[in-house]
Amino acid sequence: MIKIGVLASGRGSNFQSIIDGIKAKEIDGQIVALVVDNPEAGAIERAQANGIPYFIVEKKDCPGKGAMDRRIVEILKGKKVDLVVLAGYMRIVGRELLGKFKGKMINIHPALLPSFPGLEAQKQAFEYGVKVSGCTVHFVDEGTDTGPVIEQTAVYIGDCKDAHEVSERILPYEHKTMRKLVANFSKGRYIVEGRKVRYESGL
């Protein structure tokens, strides 16, 4: 069983997908901490409803460079976390946090990387006029959405009327992909070889 730490900033629907995967016994793991940088985050209610410990770490309470990351590291290390999942976490991960969990931190991005990295990926894809977008789960590195790709799911968006519709169409696939990937982490391991990622089942 793996111990999972989740970082979120918003409603926490991908966080919920992991909770649901654990309840369905697809994921052999336990979420031992939710860390949010926003006291209004909907993810907090989801944590409360499921008895998951949560921690609010705001920038204003962490003066000085790297202080916020150090506080998060303290929480995650204290909970003996094996895997850190960024589920709609809207802050750049600093070197200190990344260094402590390199190769053990993943992020979900609502586009097919390396296309449309950064914020508002769905809007970028819609405005560019692509017919297919989707979502990517990748390891987190020092760049913005530049880490090795673990899994991608393609979604047809050619008939979407606006960026909001693109977001709504991709979101269920984010949930499914995230749930699958965390389940895989709980039963085996992903090995990074350059930019290639391969999976070895522990079963």
DSSP symbol at 194: T
Q: Which residues of 133-159 are buried (b: 16+ CB within 10 A; e: fewer)?
A: bbbbbbbbbeeebebbbbbbbebebee
Residue type, 201: S
109, 138, 164, 175: the active-site residue: 109
- Helices and strands, number each (H, E), in the chain: 6, 9
Place of tokens 């590291």: 73
DSSP symbol at 136: E
Measured distance CA(10)–CA(146) in Å, rounded: 22
Contacts of residue 177, defined as CB under 8 A and 6 or more positions apart, other chains included, come to 108, 135, 137, 151, 152, 153
Among 31, 33, 54, smallest CA distance to 42 is for 54
Q: Known catalytic residue: 138?
A: no
Q: Annotated active-site positions, please? A: 109
